[in-house]
Chain A
Amino acid sequence: MIVKLFASSGPSVQVASQQVFTFHGVGITNSELYGWGVILVVICLLIWAARKTKIMPGKGFVGLIEEGVSFVMQMVENAFSRPEVGRKYVPFFVTLFFFILFNNWSELMPVIGQAFNHGGTPLFRPWTADLNATFAMGIVTMGLVYYASVKESGGLKIYLRHFFVGSPKNPLYFVIGLLEMFTDLTRVISLSLRLYLNITIGMIVIDVFGYLGHYIAPVSALPFFLIEIFIGALQAYIFTILSVMYLAVAVNHAHDHNDLSHEEYLTEDKVPETIGAESGSLSTGNA
């Protein structure tokens, strides 16, 4: 391991994680290595904060964690038309929020980059700056969303029904419904790409401006460093609220439709209407 103080040959731009060493034939990449470290730190910090929590609002770090938990809780309860349904899923979203937040902020630690390397490849890389990691996160989140919305709407058939604006027997609405289903599947990609690109490009921008500044690198990179603190928190918020919205829209929709008399809704001789026109109780503004 060599520690270099000044970058001599341009900014180091890596868009993908690299393998650092092999462990029993399994390649360990630098993002995995750092990711596991951050996971351990997050688990320890949150368990410590949970032990310290009392009825009175805490101070310092514990207070911040409590603020974050109540923030996510408020967000989930506002999104659902029936808050007691949403409250069941609060632990998952709180975990997601803090996990992404700490992984994003781990990008700003001084160990990131070429300074600590192992045979030329950087030893540490933030976990969210790896497309594999964010894609896995997107798959897990959307898997939970699909499972929960099928469960809450009371059956696969009723859940699939909500993709169709009118009767599925009408060819036009059938095709539109299929397109809606396909659009639903792209959410995994858009969730994961957004997080990955924001964090990776933040890293690159800090690298580039540190290189441009040369001897005064700390000063020239400082504005982008501060922006990255903001963007890290914003991306954690956006990932969380988008997954809350995906879940809430599917669940609220199923509840709204269970209230309607289904048989009348399905008849073909009636002119199919839009959702807003027929259900007087259009879910008015979450949050």
Chain B
Amino acid sequence: MIAVTEAINTAIIGKGLMIGGGFIGPGIGIGLIGGNYLQAVGRNPEAAKFLGQALIFVAIVELFGLLAFASIFIVK
């Protein structure tokens, strides 16, 4: 058995997991919004002018990814 003499800085691992896991949800969500928007435009091209409303939902989804990003700074 090899004794682990060096202390491992688990905060780094935690930060990596936080940012990696935190961006999964918003990634899927933004993908769904964009895909569904394009599908809607493909079916009904007059709907293309509602791009602004799609952007609102992107901003709402994106907030949760940003929260994950911001919380890595409070882990020491």
Q: Which residues of A contact B (CB under 8 A)?
A: 13, 15, 190, 193-194, 197-198, 200-201, 234-235, 237-238, 241-242, 245, 287
Contacts and interface: CB of A to CB of B under 8 A. Distances in A.
A242 to B, nearest CB: 7
A13 B69 contact: no
Q: Top 5 A-B pairs ranked by shortest CB distance?
A: A197-B66, A238-B59, A194-B63, A15-B73, A197-B70
A13 B70 CA distance: 11
Interface in B48-76: 50, 52-53, 55-56, 59-60, 62-63, 66-67, 69-70, 73
Nearest to B70: A197
The secondary structure that dominates the A interface is helix
Interface residues of B, number: 14
A238 B70 contact: no
Given A15-B73, A194-B59, A241 B67 contact: no
A194 B66 contact: yes
B59 A13 contact: no
Given A197-B69, A201-B69, A234 B63 contact: no
A238 B56 contact: yes
B56 A242 contact: yes
A222 B67 CA distance: 25
Contact of A234 (B50, B55, B60, B66): B55
Nearest to A131: B70
Given A201-B70, A238-B55, A287 B63 contact: no
B59 A193 contact: no
Contacts of A245: 56
13 contacts: A15-B73, A194-B59, A194-B63, A197-B66, A197-B69, A197-B70, A201-B66, A201-B69, A235-B59, A238-B59, A241-B52, A241-B56, A287-B52
A190 B63 contact: yes
A197 B22 CA distance: 15
B2 to A, nearest CB: 33
A277 to B, nearest CB: 24
Nearest to B74: A15
Nearest to B63: A194
Interface in B13-66: 50, 52-53, 55-56, 59-60, 62-63, 66
A238 B66 CA distance: 16
A234 B60 CA distance: 12
Given A190-B63, A198-B66, A201-B70, A287 B55 contact: no
Given A197-B63, A201-B66, 20 more contacts: A13-B73, A15-B70, A15-B73, A190-B60, A190-B63, A194-B59, A194-B62, A194-B63, A197-B67, A201-B69, A234-B59, A235-B59, A238-B56, A238-B59, A241-B52, A241-B56, A242-B56, A287-B50, A287-B52, A287-B53
